Amino acid sequence: MRLAHRLTGLFLLVAAFTAIPGERALGQESAAAAPAAARLQVIDGPLNVRRLPSLQAPILSTVSLGTVLDVIRHSGDWAEVRLTGGRTGWVATRFTAPAESPPSLGEYEPYLNVDYGYLEVDGNCLGASPVIGGRLFVPLRAINDALGGETTWIDRKAGVLFKDRNLSVSPGSTAAVLNGKEVTFDAAPFIAESRTLVPIRPFSEALGLDVKWDPARRTAILKSGAPVRGTGCSPAAPLKAYLIMDAGTGLVLSEYRPDERMYVASTTKIMTALLAVEHGKLDSYVTVSWNAAVQGGTSAGLRTGERLTVHELLYGAMLPSGNDAATALAEWIAGTEAAFVKLMNQRARELGARSTVFYNASGLDDWVRPLSTARDMGLIARHALQNSEFRGLVGLKEHYMVSSRGSSRLKNSNQFVTTYPGATGVKNGWTEKAGYTLVVSAWRDGAEVIVVLLGAQNRDELYRQAARLMDQGFQLQRQAWMLR
Domain boundaries, the chain: 3-98, 106-234, 256-483
Residue 424's pLDDT is 95
User: Catalytic site residue 408?
Assistant: no
The active-site residue, picked from 266, 372, 388, 441, is 266
Residue 36: its pLDDT value, please? 60
Give pLDDT, residue 221. 94
**Under CATH, which number does the domain 3-98 receive?**
2.30.30.40
Please give the pLDDT value at position 37: 67
At the fourth CATH level, the homologous superfamily of domain 256-483 is: DD-peptidase/beta-lactamase superfamily (3.40.710.10)
Q: Which residues pair with 191 in a beta bridge?
A: 196
* Tens of pLDDT, residue by residue, the chain (484 residues): 443 443 344 333 333 333 323 443 333 333 344 446 689 999 988 899 999 999 999 998 888 899 999 999 999 999 999 987 678 999 999 999 998 887 889 999 998 988 999 999 999 999 999 999 999 999 999 999 999 999 998 878 899 999 999 999 999 999 999 999 999 999 999 999 989 999 999 999 999 999 999 998 999 999 887 777 788 999 999 999 999 999 999 999 999 999 999 999 999 999 999 999 999 889 899 999 999 999 999 999 999 999 999 999 999 999 999 999 999 999 999 999 999 999 999 999 999 999 999 999 999 998 888 899 999 999 999 999 999 899 999 999 999 988 888 889 999 999 999 999 999 999 999 999 999 999 999 999 989 999 999 999 999 999 999 999 999 999 999 999 999 8
Q: Are 393 and 441 in contact (CB under 8 A)?
A: no
| 305 φψ region: left (φ > 0), alpha (ψ -120 to 50), beta (else) | left
How far apart CA 290 and CA 81 sit, in angstroms, is 38
Q: Which of 204, 321, 362, 388 is catalytic?
A: 321
pTM of model > 0.95? no
266 is an active site residue: yes
Instruction: Give the C-alpha distances (Å, rounded to integers) separating 147 from 140, 255, 405.
Output: 11, 24, 66
**Which among 383, 321, 380 has a CA at the least distance from the CA of 354?**
380
**b/e map of 248-281 (b: 16 or more CB within 10 Å)?**
bbbbbbbbbbbeeebbbbbbbbbbbbbbbbbbee
Question: Secondary structure of the chain in the HEC alphabet?
Answer: CCHHHHHHHHHHHHHHHHCCCCCCCECCECCCCCCCCCEEEECCCCEEEECCCCCCCCEEEEECCCCEEEEEEEECCEEEEECHHHCEEEEEHHHEEECCCCCCCHHHHHHHHHCEEEEEECCEEEEEEEEECCEEEEEHHHHHHHHCCEEEEECCEEEEEECCEEEEECCCCCEEEECCEEEECCCCCEEECCEEEEEHHHHHHHCCCCEEEECCCCEEEECCCCCCCCCCCCCCCCCCEEEEEECCCCCEEEEECCCCCECCHHHHHHHHHHHHHHHCCCCCEEECCHHHHCCCCCCCCCCCCCEEEHHHHHHHHHCCCCHHHHHHHHHHHHCCHHHHHHHHHHHHHHCCCCCCECCCCCCCCCCCCCEECHHHHHHHHHHHHCCHHHHHHHCCCEEEEEECCEEEEEECCCHHHHHCCCEEEEEEEEECCCEEEEEEEEEECCEEEEEEEEEECCHHHHHHHHHHHHHHHHHHHHHCHHHC
- Residue 321 known to be catalytic: yes
CATH topology of domain 106-234: Copper Amine Oxidase; Chain A, domain 1 (3.30.457)
